[in-house]
A and B are shown apart, each in its own frame.
Chain A
């Protein structure tokens, strides 16, 4: 594996198509979008697309570590919905005592972070200590969180108090120098994730565990601890994504975050991370997320394709992206 990797790098010093694949796909999409609609490259449209990518993007960065470590998390979409519901409930409950204002927003943020950490810990605990398949554990927690949010919302929608909504709104809609907060947070998370994956011991350990956990164990890597941390890390990022999500519409319902887990996993794989673990690329994940949301955006901006086929087009592009990468690997 490592040998192949080195070889690929040596052969493709100048033009490494395996690395360039996702970037090329993104460039093609941008060109197509710009050709189809004059407003595609407008500041407003770019801001919209990037801001709305932030939820999946922040989660996908965490997912990159989980998948690199040989795991999988299907519960993130339901977890986000549950945390959003919890955050709204806590803020509504504390409102009479604290009044609408930033202290209450911080209480909401803290709730999201604590709930995310705990949820990630539960997944990690069941997978590492209780030795249950990640697929099974997170399939179970996916159902649990989805039911919990339906129950909390009494089947309807949990809405943040109206006065509070105008206080918290700027978290999604405002920013610094015209760049909105979700974009800034997404960028910070991605840069940190990339640094941790490339430079920190934790990133290398995650790859080692995902590649071969026996070898990693003999190399005195604490396999369980590393795996556990990837899930806790992901849980925390789901909390961060939720903090960005709640201010947008000020509500959470049982249909919040449906299929986010699959979008996040798809973004990770499009970006070049191996689904079976052992190798992860955070910047690739960011490209993957952008590819997915640009397809949506372009399809909405054009009339050419029946909206019934949107899902099919996304599916084709996901599969193409992965085929492209595998062929490049075989060539080397």
Chain B
């Protein structure tokens, strides 16, 4: 008797499943794994957005997958398409080239595609593109440097992992400081990494007797730079400008640390923007296709409180 009941229940559930699947739409979210601070923040904001939206939209289901390399991300997306019958895909490509054709396959299947931050190699695949403004990030940083050093000066520049993102930022920065009397003594790759930047800054301090300021271009790198300056005991460096909006650095800006007078945002929460807009696009008649650029904002002691996220790991 009991056995029959369970069988019947299971049978009913099995029969009901396809019916339910037709009512709910599944949004797949595929992002790089949390292997550095910014990606950690992005994972946090993605999870938060998914949790929130599942409550707001009972008709939406989310699949969140994190990949530690491009090949794994391709597998994730193929699995989503094959087994979860996704209606939309929100993807932050690990690398542009290898992800282009798998994402195109999703678009060809008729699903909505939102691409975040790093674009695909072929234009026109995505329905919605949400991204930070890399040239703008460099420009805002450069403009701040010019305003903080009106008489010019000698600076050293830290670059990230060699990528187009890094090139766009540096070009934006160089354009902004052109003709201002600010002289770049040297540029070196700190690879968005504390340890590497610590080492490079130690060597810069050996190489140059006077450095007026540092564009660390990233908060992780700024932490390494600060440790090297502190160790050397030198007082010629007036300030270090990081970027991205790590909460420890935002706190330093808020508290008026003279070495960290400002920061420039490149928010990892842009993934949440992308997921929210995709959900809106799937459930309402509001048009959301196109390009959504999230501007880089200068964080100063006045507005720092607005950019401090207590629970985020970044």
Contact A153 B203, beta carbon cutoff 8 Å? no
Q: Which residue of B lies closest to A46 (CB)?
A: B206
Interface centre among B189, B199, B206, B232 (most CB of A within 10 A): B206
Give the docked Cα–Cα distance between A296 and B224 (Å): 17
Contact A44 B227, beta carbon cutoff 8 Å? no
**CB proximity of A85 to chain B, nearest CB, Å:** 13
Give the docked Cα–Cα distance between A157 and B246 (Å): 10
**CB proximity of A223 to chain B, nearest CB, Å:** 36
Give the docked Cα–Cα distance between A30 and B194 (Å): 27
Contact B223 A44, beta carbon cutoff 8 Å? no
Give the docked Cα–Cα distance between A44 and B205 (Å): 10
Contact B199 A254, beta carbon cutoff 8 Å? no
Q: Which residue of A lies closest to B186 (CB)?
A: A303
Query: Is B35 part of the binding interface, using a Cβ–Cβ cutoff of 8 Å?
Result: yes
**CB proximity of B190 to chain A, nearest CB, Å:** 10
Residues from chain A with a CB closer than 8 A to the CB of B206 are: 37, 39-40, 42, 44-45, 48, 301
Q: Is the interface of B mostly helix, strand, loop or mixed?
A: helix
Give the docked Cα–Cα distance between A227 and B162 (Å): 41
Query: Is A132 part of the binding interface, using a Cβ–Cβ cutoff of 8 Å?
Result: no
Query: Is A204 part of the binding interface, using a Cβ–Cβ cutoff of 8 Å?
Result: no
Stretch at the interface among A14-22, A62-70, A245-253, A261-269: A245-253
Give the docked Cα–Cα distance between A38 and B39 (Å): 40
Contact A155 B188, beta carbon cutoff 8 Å? no
Give the docked Cα–Cα distance between A157 and B193 (Å): 11
Cβ < 8 Å to B, chain A residues 236-290: 248-249, 251, 253-256
Contact B248 A155, beta carbon cutoff 8 Å? no
Query: Is A224 part of the binding interface, using a Cβ–Cβ cutoff of 8 Å?
Result: no
Interface size on A, residues (CB 8 A): 30
Residues from chain B with a CB closer than 8 A to the CB of A5 are: none
Contact B200 A300, beta carbon cutoff 8 Å? yes
Give the docked Cα–Cα distance between A203 and B200 (Å): 37
- Contact A251-B35, Cβ < 8 Å, known A154-B44, A297-B203, A301-B203: no
Give the docked Cα–Cα distance between A254 and B36 (Å): 6
**CB proximity of A142 to chain B, nearest CB, Å:** 12
Contact B232 A251, beta carbon cutoff 8 Å? no
Contact B34 A254, beta carbon cutoff 8 Å? yes
Contact A307 B207, beta carbon cutoff 8 Å? no
Query: Is B195 part of the binding interface, using a Cβ–Cβ cutoff of 8 Å?
Result: yes
Cβ < 8 Å to B, chain A residues 89-117: none
Interface centre among A52, A155, A157, A303 (most CB of B within 10 A): A155
Contact A157 B204, beta carbon cutoff 8 Å? no
Contact A154 B313, beta carbon cutoff 8 Å? yes
Residues from chain A with a CB closer than 8 A to the CB of B41 are: 155-156
Contact A156 B224, beta carbon cutoff 8 Å? no
- Contact A251-B223, Cβ < 8 Å, known A52-B199, A155-B40, A156-B314: yes
Residues from chain A with a CB closer than 8 A to the CB of B44 are: 154-156
- Contact A249-B162, Cβ < 8 Å, known A157-B313, A300-B207: no
Give the docked Cα–Cα distance between A150 and B199 (Å): 23
Residues from chain B with a CB closer than 8 A to the CB of A44 are: 205-206, 232
Residues from chain A with a CB closer than 8 A to the CB of B188 are: 300, 307
Contact A296 B34, beta carbon cutoff 8 Å? no
Cβ < 8 Å to A, chain B residues 28-64: 33-37, 39-41, 43-44
Query: Is B198 part of the binding interface, using a Cβ–Cβ cutoff of 8 Å?
Result: yes
Contact B203 A308, beta carbon cutoff 8 Å? no
Q: Which residue of B lies closest to A301 (CB)?
A: B207
Query: Is B202 part of the binding interface, using a Cβ–Cβ cutoff of 8 Å?
Result: yes
Residues from chain A with a CB closer than 8 A to the CB of B37 are: 156-157, 253
Interface centre among B159, B203, B207 (most CB of A within 10 A): B203
Contact A153 B40, beta carbon cutoff 8 Å? yes
**CB proximity of B286 to chain A, nearest CB, Å:** 32
Residues from chain A with a CB closer than 8 A to the CB of B189 are: 307-308
Q: Which residue of B lies closest to A151 (CB)?
A: B34
Q: Which of B34, B159, B227 contacts A155 (CB 8 A)?
A: B34
Query: Is B22 part of the binding interface, using a Cβ–Cβ cutoff of 8 Å?
Result: no
17 A-B residue contacts at CB 8 Å?
A37-B206, A39-B206, A44-B206, A48-B206, A153-B34, A154-B34, A154-B44, A156-B313, A157-B40, A157-B313, A159-B248, A249-B195, A249-B224, A253-B194, A253-B220, A255-B194, A301-B203
The 3 lowest CB-CB distance pairs between A and B, nearest first, are A155-B34, A156-B313, A155-B40
Given A40-B206, A308-B189, 10 new contacts (CB under 8 A): A150-B35, A153-B313, A154-B44, A156-B37, A156-B313, A249-B194, A255-B35, A255-B194, A303-B186, A308-B162
